[in-house]
């Protein structure tokens, strides 16, 4: 019997990362779920166990990790290999936003976004690669449609960092694919109803959040927005050898068409 595959998922305590963990659990992946809020990771683990994975059977490793601290990232890989002896999938999802225009943001804002959305994923990819090479595994980076084609100026530090993540995806795909048959792809979601908009200050309260999402739905070509479970389904499609084997260096846009030119801009007055 083939051993169960192992996936490392950053930012797995909520939102897209939470949904990806549950999706992979349904397909019997062993999981390493990372985040800063252990109680949220424990909630994710409980739902994963309901899909068939058993924490007591050593199928889930919950690891507190600040992705801005190299030693904590390195510790994740030590613990993962000690426990599971392999890595098949890395999902770089951890992050937050800073809602400032380019003219408002200071260099510290750009530094902060670079460290979490560009530098940290690169560090994870570099440490994961030797193990992924052995399993011919793959990397999935969760970036943003806001970094492509029609960049969102009022999220400037975030957008610049996510654009860096897109480029890192393509560069890693070239080197890791040729050298180790490791696939590297990015998913570029549009607005997804998660807590990132409130935590970034992009919206101030629930009423403003509801108004924002209503507007985003109205301007999407499909009249709807993806939810986190749908982004998770794309992640599994890419990770699955049957469906994703020939996909690498790709940026999968999941914005319901918002990435296309001449889409309306979210009004400042909202």
Report yes or no on 265 lying in a domain. no
Instruction: Kindly report, residue by residue over 103-159, the tens digit of the pLDDT.
Output: 999 999 999 999 999 999 999 999 999 999 999 999 999 999 888 866 678 889 999
Question: What's the domain range around 152?
Answer: 6-254
Q: Using only the alpha carbons of the chain, give its radius of gyration.
A: 18
**Of 8, 181, 20, nearest to 83 (Cα)?**
8
State the catalytic residues: 158
- Do the domain assignments include residue 261? no
108 within domain boundaries: yes
In order, the DSSP letters of the chain are: -PPPPEEEESSTTSHHHHHHHHHHHHTT-EEEEEES-HHHHHHHHHHHHHTT--GGGT-EEEEE--TT-HHHHHHHHHHHHHHHS---EEEE---------TTT--HHHHHHHHIIIIIHHHHHHHHHHHHHHHHT-EEEEE--GGGSSS--GGGHHHHHHHHHHHHHHHHHHHHHHHHH--EEEEEEE---SSTHHHHHTSS-SHHHHHHHHHHHHHHSTTSS---HHHHHHHHHHHH-HHHHTT--S-EEEESTTTTSTTPPPPPTT-
Mean pLDDT of 38-48: 95
Checking if the pLDDT of 266 tops 60, the result is no
**pLDDT (tens digit, 9 = 90+) per residue, 57-75?**
659 999 999 999 999 999 9
pTM over the 0.85 mark: yes
- CATH number (domain holding residue 233): 3.40.50.720
Q: Classify residue 205: in a domain, yes or no.
A: yes
Q: Residue 263 domain-assigned?
A: no
The verdict on residue 94 lying in a domain is yes
How confident is the model at residue 196, as a pLDDT? 67
- Residue 267 forms part of a structural domain: no
Give me the number of domains the chain comprises. 1
Given the structure tokens 């914005």, which residue do they identify?
A: 255
What tokens does 260 get?
Answer: 């296309």
pLDDT of residue 166: 97
Rounded mean pLDDT of 210-236?
86
Q: Does residue 259 lie within any of the structural domains? A: no
Query: Residue 101: CA atoms inside 13 Å, Cβ hemisphere, count?
Result: 3
pLDDT digits (tens, 9 = 90+) for 181-207: 999 999 999 888 777 666 666 677 878
Q: What is the mean pLDDT of residues 226-239?
A: 95
């Amino acid at each position: 019997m083939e051993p169960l595959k192992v996936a490392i998922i950053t930012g797995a305590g909520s939102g897209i990362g939470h949904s990806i963990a549950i999706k992979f659990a349904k397909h019997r992946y062993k999981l390493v779920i990372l985040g800063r809020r252990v109680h949220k990771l424990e909630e994710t683990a409980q739902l994963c166990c309901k899909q068939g994975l058993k924490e007591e059977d050593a199928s889930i490793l919950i690891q507190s990790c600040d992705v801005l601290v190299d030693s904590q990232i390195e510790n994740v890989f030590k613990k993962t290999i000690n426990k599971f002896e392999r890595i098949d999938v890395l999902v770089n999802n951890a992050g937050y936003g800073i809602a400032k225009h380019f003219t408002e943001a200071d260099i510290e804002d750009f530094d902060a976004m670079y460290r979490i959305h560009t530098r940290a994923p690169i560090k994870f990819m570099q440490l994961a690669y030797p193990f992924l090479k052995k399993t011919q595994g793959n990397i999935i980076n969760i970036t943003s449609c806001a970094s492509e084609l029609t960049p969102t100026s009022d999220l400037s530090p975030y957008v610049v960092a996510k654009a860096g993540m897109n480029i890192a995806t393509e560069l890693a795909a070239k080197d890791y694919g040729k050298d180790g048959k490791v696939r590297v792809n990015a998913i570029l979601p549009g607005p997804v109803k998660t807590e990132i908009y409130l935590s970034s200050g992009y919206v101030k309260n629930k009423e403003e959040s509801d108004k924002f999402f209503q507007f985003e739905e109205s301007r999407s070509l499909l009249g709807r927005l993806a939810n986190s479970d749908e982004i998770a389904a794309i992640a599994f499609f890419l990770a699955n050898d049957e469906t994703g084997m020939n996909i690498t260096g790709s940026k999968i846009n999941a914005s319901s068409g918002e990435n296309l030119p001449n889409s309306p801009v979210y009004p400042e007055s909202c």
